[in-house]
Amino acid sequence: MRRDDSDDPFDEFFREIERMMDEMMGAEGDVHIDRDTGGGGADLHVDVHETDEEIRVVADVPGVDKDAIDLKCDGTVLTINAESPEREYHERLTLPTRVDEHSAAATYNNGILEVTFDPEEDSADIEL
């Protein structure tokens, strides 16, 4: 049985809050989550922690087997897809800074997904 997010009375309210926050934060350095609600997917609770050494994404993904989680990153966007017979999750998270996607390390324990990345090195100076 899938949860039907189209009947969620708070869905439009939270979308409006997210739109206002995106507008207020601007495009520089914000974290944006695109919720793919077309397939009846459940919402993930996601936290992003940024330090000089790493970007850490922590997401609650309850009720899903580790093998049913698919992660992709292109350096600026982390995509999380996961499903079980009871629920589906589809999230696109715009990271606060460009990361080295090849440095990614992920763990999944007791419903908590944790993904860490190294920030991408600054571009090199070119001398003339």
Q: Tell me the per-residue pLDDT of 2-43, one tens digit each, with 9 for 90 and over.
A: 445 556 677 777 777 877 776 666 544 445 555 554 445 567
Domain over 44-115 is classified CATH 2.60.40.790: yes
pLDDT in tens, 55-100: 999 999 988 999 999 999 999 999 999 998 888 899 999 999 999 9
* Beta-ladder partners of 32: 94
Q: 99 near 119, Cβ under 8 Å?
A: yes
pLDDT tops 50 at residue 125: yes
* Beta-ladder partners of 47: 58
Task: Give me the pLDDT at residue 117, please.
Answer: 96
Neighbour tally for 59: CB within 10 Å: 24
What are the strands, taking DSSP E only, across 69-111?
A: 69-73, 77-83, 88-94, 99-109
* Beta-ladder partners of 80: 71, 91
pLDDT tops 90 at residue 128: no
Task: Give me the pLDDT at residue 127, please.
Answer: 78
Quickly list H helices, 1-128. 11-25
Cα–Cα distance measured from residue 24 to residue 13, given in angstroms and rounded to the nearest whole number: 17
Cα-to-chain-centroid distance, residue 83: 15
Task: Give me the pLDDT at residue 15, please.
Answer: 77
Task: Give me the pLDDT at residue 5, please.
Answer: 53
Q: Where do the domains of the chain lie?
A: 44-115
